[in-house]
A = this chain, B = another copy of it.
């Protein structure tokens, strides 16, 4: 990049820090931005700055928000007696898109991962237990990612609730495991197929 203009080299470098963006992709994005209308590039730059300036974490559910509490926590028409526990804000997005769930959320911001040194203090488990101590919640849906770390995290939270939250009527549930819609049975992995069998229902 010796003879390349410094601002171009700088943008390539900054873009290649994004996840999944290598140097080649960063170059392509840079030249796309160079060629795009000034307006569009400015909107992108401003959106980046604005998101950093105005986004905070909700002090109840720890989802990202512009206002505290967040629109979901402060919406009185949502079921106040159910909390769906997810790893990331993106998971809230995915669940909201279904339109099926009308309760509240709790964003852990990660999953327990002893191998990567991510323990209880690194994610928002204690904050969840504190919310549950209030006693109004009837159901906690553990919607961590299916997989080792998500399942382990859900197990730890389940035990914690049992041991530390004195609320005998509180149900702890998890999302159903099984075949994804539109999938092919013959290509399903063993784990998924076992879970689908175990979870079979009368029709």
Interface residues of A (CB under 8 A from B): 1-8, 10-11, 13-15, 17-20, 25, 27-34, 36, 38, 40-55, 64-66, 70-72, 75, 88-90, 93, 96
Contact = CB atoms under 8 A, between A and B. Distances in A.
How many copies of this chain does the complex contain? Answer: 2
Contacts of A17: 36, 40, 44
Contact of A7 (B2, B28, B38, B55): B55
A48 B38 CA distance: 10
Contact of A19 (B1, B32, B41, B89): B32
A interface secondary structure, majority = helix
B29 A18 contact: yes
A54 B96 contact: no
